[in-house]
Amino acid sequence: MTVNGTKMLLPVEAYISREWFDREQRELFGRSWQFAGMTTDIVERGQYICVQAGAYPLIVIRDDEGELKAYHNICRHRGTQLLEVTGKRKKVITCPYHDWVYSLDGKLIGVPQRRTQFPDLDMSEWSLFPASVAVWNEMVFVNPNAECMPFDKWLGDFPDHFGPHRPSQLMETDVRHYEIKANWKIFVENYIDVYHLSHLHSETLNMYDHAKLKSAVTGPGHVATYDPPTREYKRYLETSPNNYMPLAIQEAENWGAYVHMMFPNFGIAGTEYSWSTIEVMPVTPRETLVKIRTRTALEGINLAIANVYEKVGAWVSQAIGYRPDADPLQSGDFMVEDIYACEQQQKAMESPRFAFGPTSIDQEQLIIDFQNAVLSYMPDPED
């Protein structure tokens, strides 16, 4: 159905089908840059983090020269996964199954019983499969393909829309995990949906003037938005004593919400109080894990209990902790509201009567742009 010149492009199967989900894991996430972590996660030589980029388990490790390297997390002998989660190694990577040993630059350097069991083995041919790694603004990104689109080209002019936040000058103060019973694309589409801000979040995000929100689509499908403060909220910020306000931005002309989604599934959100990364991790066609890491200007600030936030009320509702037992539409927490809406939409998609209706003239256009970008990575399975 076409209304106002736009239409939803993805079929219902894109949100419920295992076959579609598996194709995304291979074709979309297997060919796009994925957020891996912050540079502060891997500071020392031999320190590593493990990343699941679609169907591909990867390792990002700091080598003996202090450089970041990325490899597929698969032993070249029998394909066993080498490492898990995060940690520190001394000087080598050792397979837990048969003790094959790799240097931090991915070369195979040790095979037990090599002379008797592998007399003709050319170890130079069995290095770890390489992947790509890049760093931007303290954030580490990986791509399963060693010969992928260069990161700078993939980034495009997105940095022009990033906003005034400087992650290296902020300190991590909070990490939260959310298990959402909805497809990952439903969460992303909700995240970039301008239309719902004045309705679902009429009380919890009323400190921003959504009618003046500015948006841009850049690179392969990155979405950048800036939501300015209302006059009332800006007046509050200007008159509040700074010693009570852990501002991530000090300049009044830069106040507002900078909410971005780097294609396909990595969110960045900056406000006057904080700067956060939002990892949207597909689990199954109907399940998504979201990890939010928040940084603030002051060390030790607890966003959930700081007294100043209680005085501001709905204007700083993003500081309220997640309460799964609360009425989602009365919780005062916009994240709870979003999760509720996403899960309700996922449930409705199981009905044979489910269908997408008309879209708004411009406030849902970012969703159409996102769906176009998804389709550009998804070849027809019959081709």
Is residue 18 in a domain? no
Of the candidates 118, 148, 178, which is a domain's last residue?
148
Confirm if 305 and 315 have CB atoms less than 8 A apart: no
Asked if 248 and 343 sit in the same domain, the reply is yes
The answer as to whether 27 is a domain residue is no
CATH of the domain at 139: 2.102.10.10
- 127 part of a folded domain: yes
Closest CA to 36 of 15, 14, 62: 62
Six-digit token string for 60: 């990002």
138 & 170 share domain:
no
| Position 317, amino acid | S
Residue 19 lies in a domain: no
- Which CATH number covers residue 229? 3.90.380.10
In this prediction, residue 228 carries a pLDDT of 95
Residue 92's closest CA among 108, 114, 72? 108
Looking at the structure, tell me whether residues 178 and 323 fall in a common domain. Answer: yes
Q: Residue 157 carries which side chain, given as an amino acid letter?
A: D
pLDDT of residue 246: 54
Residues 6+ apart with CB under 8 A from 383: none
Judge if 67 and 124 occupy the same domain.
Answer: yes
Q: Are residue 246 and residue 326 in the same domain, yes or no?
A: yes
Q: Is there a single domain that holds both residue 222 and residue 369?
A: yes
| 73 CB-contact burial (10 Å; exposed 0-12 / middle 13-18 / buried 19+) | buried
CB 39 within 8 A of CB 15: no
Q: Are residues 118 and 190 in the same domain?
A: no
Nearest to 269 by CA among 372, 192, 366, 198: 192
In a domain, 26, yes or no: no
Q: Which structural domain range is residue 100 located in?
A: 34-148
Give the pLDDT score at 355.
87
Q: Is residue 131 part of a domain?
A: yes
Residue 9 lies in a domain: no
Flag whether 176 is in a domain: yes
| The pLDDT of residue 327 | 67
Phi, psi dihedral angles at 21 (to 5 degrees): -60, -45
Q: Mean pLDDT per segment of 10 residues, for the chain of length 383 residues?
A: 62 96 95 96 94 95 95 97 83 95 96 96 97 98 95 96 92 93 98 95 92 94 96 84 61 90 97 93 98 79 41 40 54 88 96 90 93 90 55
119, 148, 177 — which closes off a domain? 148
Same domain, 331 and 269: yes
Does one domain contain both 236 and 349?
yes
Instruction: State residue 320's pLDDT score.
Output: 38
Q: In this structure, are 335 and 195 located in the same domain?
A: yes
Same-domain status, 144 and 234: no
> Last residue of a domain, which of 117, 148, 179?
148
99 Ramachandran zone, left/alpha/beta (phi>0; psi -120 to 50): left
Going by their DSSP bridges, the two strands 132-136 and 86-88 should be labelled as unpaired
Give the count of domains, the chain.
2
d(CA 336, CA 308): 21
Instruction: Examine the domain organization and report whether 221 and 142 are in the same domain.
Output: no
Q: CA 262, CA 222: separation in Å to the nearest integer?
A: 4
